[in-house]
Amino acid sequence: MKIDQSRLQKEIDALALITEAKPPVVTRVLFSEADMRGRALVKKLCRAAGLVLREDAVGNIFARWDGVDKKLPAVATGSHIDAIPNAGKYDGVVGVLGAIEAIRALRKTGFQPKRSIELIIFTSEEPTRFGIGCLGSRLLGGVLLSKRAAALKDRDGKNLEFWRTQGGCAGRLDSVKLPKNSYAAFVELHIEQGPVLEKGKISIGVVEKIAAPSTLRVQLVGVGGHAGATLMPGRRDALLAGAEIALAVEWSATTSGSPDTVGTTGVFRIEPGAVNSVPCRAQLEIDLRDTNVKTRDAALRRIEAEVKKICARRKIEFTMERLNLDPPAICDAALVQTVSGICRAQKIPCKKMISRAYHDSLFMAQVCPTTMIFIPCFKGYSHRPDEFSSPAQIEKGVRVLAETLASIASR
Ligand code: HGY
Ligand code: MN
Ligand code: MN
């Protein structure tokens, strides 16, 4: 099988130029103009590859290569093309454009799938707009109720209904949930986003488990005022409470007892944001993860207790909301063996591993047997513009994906 890596690289480069930021920075927030143009490009490539397109009510895109036996559950692959602010060009994209190339390469060999092969381009894997990641796959898996999804609002108060209409989606949100037995398997190709494969000089990671993510949103209301005329005693500065909370997140993660606990205060907005004004309001979004759900939850409870203490001491009003609290996903052992076996047959060094990042696979694992194919990336960098995987690394990932899809689609 021949992977046309130079064509695929050109497509990756072209998609990277569709961004809200100045290239090489990639920013494509859900249903922004750049996201819409990115989606249009991907749909065009799918059509050119002879795939039949369908879009659901939240904008998940399905591109299908019909199998000989259309009644059999299809084998699915896919990832996302939305990108957080200040991102690179490979996160998600390798799994979408790489899957299109895998399908093109399989077609060229004359392969006829018994089961249909379906590429899914998931809506809003990234949490940027609504604070919650994997919006599309959560709804597909029935993990997020459509009523809760409909209530999601972005920082400007615009809700999902507004944005999905803007994005051209039609139909009811509760129609997104997949019927049982929709898929025989789901396999996602993705960059590792960590340093393990590169350090070990290993070409492919086969994912056995995906760490458990959670997100806490904390809104703080203090008392603002003139920075010169408001003396220090008695101030109720929302930023300072937030700063203590951010430190408590670090403390809680580093003393959880598990080396796998990671805590990040990635959003910290203040109002009014004027140099000569005491911050009266702050909004924090805290990302807390672990491979072990027990230590993750204990660390989260300690953060919540600290928020209460800090706000009481500083006389700050607060609200706290757990935006998501997900269990880890265990990948399907037989699928992991299938991918590992393909790597061995292709003489490609591979390693079974954990995904510390989350992916739509976290929720597809609730729908059907799931695993992921990881490829190395430069120094493990991700969620930054210098994210990089070489064409040779991508080629191997696409080849393993194509062989995996062919193997499952033939059963
Ligand atoms: O945050 C994550 O783990 C993923 O990259 N969205
Ligand atoms: Mn990401
Ligand atoms: Mn991703």
- Ligand 1 pocket residue status of 130, Cβ below 6 Å: no
For residue 61, the model assigns a pLDDT of: 99
For residue 178, the model assigns a pLDDT of: 97
Rounded distance between C-alpha atoms, residue 288 and residue 303, angstroms = 10
Residue 307 phi/psi, 5° resolution?
A: -55, -45
* Domain co-membership, 343 together with 313: no
Q: Considering 298, 325, 352, which residue would you say is the last residue of a domain? A: 325
* Domain co-membership, 206 together with 220: no
Range of the domain at 244: 213-325
With the most atoms of ligand 1 within 8 angstroms of its CB, the residue from 26, 29, 126 to mutate is: 126
Three-class SS of residue 368?
coil
List the residue whose alpha carbon is closest to atom 6 of ligand 1.
Answer: 126
Atom of ligand 1 nearest to the CA of 383: 5
Instruction: Specify the CATH number for the domain of residue 228.
Output: 3.30.70.360
Instruction: Specify the CATH number for the domain of residue 205.
Output: 3.40.630.10
Packed helices 93-108 and 5-16: angle between N→C axes, nearest 10 degrees = 150
Per-residue tokens: 124: 């809003």
For residue 241, the model assigns a pLDDT of: 99
For residue 253, the model assigns a pLDDT of: 98
For residue 234, the model assigns a pLDDT of: 93
- Ligand 1 pocket residue status of 133, Cβ below 6 Å: yes
Atom of ligand 1 nearest to the CA of 91: 5
Percent of the chain that is helix, strand, coil (3-state, to 5): 35, 25, 40
Give every CB contact of residue 337 below 8 A, 6+ residues apart in sequence.
none
* Domain co-membership, 92 together with 196: yes
Q: Considering 278, 305, 325, which residue would you say is the last residue of a domain? A: 325
pLDDT tens, the chain, 411 aa long: 999 999 999 999 999 999 999 999 999 999 999 999 999 999 999 999 999 999 999 999 999 999 999 999 999 999 999 999 999 999 999 999 999 999 999 999 999 999 999 999 999 999 999 999 999 999 999 999 999 999 999 999 999 999 999 999 999 999 999 999 999 999 999 999 999 999 999 999 999 999 999 999 999 999 999 999 999 999 999 999 999 999 999 999 999 999 999 999 999 999 999 999 999 999 999 999 999 999 999 999 999 999 999 999 999 999 999 999 999 999 999 999 999 999 999 999 999 999 999 999 999 999 999 999 999 999 999 999 999 999 999 999 999 999 999 999 999
* Domain co-membership, 73 together with 113: yes
Query: From its phi and psi, is residue 254 left (phi > 0), alpha (psi between -120 and 50) or beta?
Result: alpha
List the residue whose alpha carbon is closest to atom 3 of ligand 1.
Answer: 357
* Domain co-membership, 224 together with 207: no
For residue 167, the model assigns a pLDDT of: 97
For residue 401, the model assigns a pLDDT of: 99
* Domain co-membership, 384 together with 344: yes
* Domain co-membership, 255 together with 297: yes
* Domain co-membership, 370 together with 249: no
Q: Report the domain count for the chain.
A: 2
Q: Please give the angle made by the CA atoms of 365, 303 and 327, to the nearest 5 degrees.
A: 10
* Domain co-membership, 207 together with 239: no
* Domain co-membership, 338 together with 401: yes
CA of 233 to the centre of ligand 2 (A): 43
For residue 381, the model assigns a pLDDT of: 98
CA of 359 to the centre of ligand 1 (A): 6
Tally: H helices and E strands in the chain: 12, 17
Residue 83 phi/psi, 5° resolution?
A: -135, 140
* Domain co-membership, 399 together with 288: no
Rounded distance between C-alpha atoms, residue 173 and residue 60, angstroms = 11
Residue 185 phi/psi, 5° resolution?
A: -165, 160
Q: Considering 325, 341, 361, which residue would you say is the last residue of a domain? A: 325
- Ligand 1 pocket residue status of 357, Cβ below 6 Å: yes
For residue 40, the model assigns a pLDDT of: 98
Amino acid code (one letter) for 218: V
